[in-house]
Amino acid sequence: MTERAAPFHCPYCGDEDLRPSEVASQRGTGAAWECRSCNRAFRLKFLGLLSQGLSAAPSPSDGGTS
C-alpha cells in the first residue's frame, strides 16, 4: 500500500480523530480511513488533473458572464 497523503479531517463531520481502516481496505483497493467521532469509514480517490485549470469555469455567483 502506497500512501501519498493522509486526510487531515473527516469529510462528513470535520473531526480530526482519523485512523487507518484495515477492514475497509480489505474490501476494495486503496487506503480507507475510519472517523472515531462520527463512526464512518471512507476512502479517498484521486480522479485526475483538470485540463483547463481552476479559473476557466465561470462561478455560479457571477451568472456566467465576464
Per-residue pLDDT of the chain (66 residues; tens, 9 = 90+): 445 678 899 999 999 999 998 775 566 666 789 999 999 999 887 778 888 766 655 656 666 565
Give CA angle at 22 (27, 11), nearest 5°.
85
Q: Is residue 58 part of a domain?
A: no
Q: Is residue 60 part of a domain?
A: no
Counting the structural domains of the chain, the total is 1
Q: Is residue 31 part of a domain?
A: yes
Q: Is residue 37 part of a domain?
A: yes
Question: According to the model, what pLDDT value does residue 30 have?
Answer: 65
Q: Is residue 57 part of a domain?
A: no
Cα radius of gyration (the chain): 17
pTM above 0.75, yes or no: no
Question: According to the model, what pLDDT value does residue 1 have?
Answer: 43
Domain that holds residue 28: 7-44
For cell 480489505, the residue is 26
Task: Count CA atoms closer than 13 A to 31's CA, side-chain side.
Answer: 12
Q: Is residue 40 part of a domain?
A: yes
| H or E element in which residue 24 lies | helix 22-27
Name the 3-class secondary structure at 21: strand
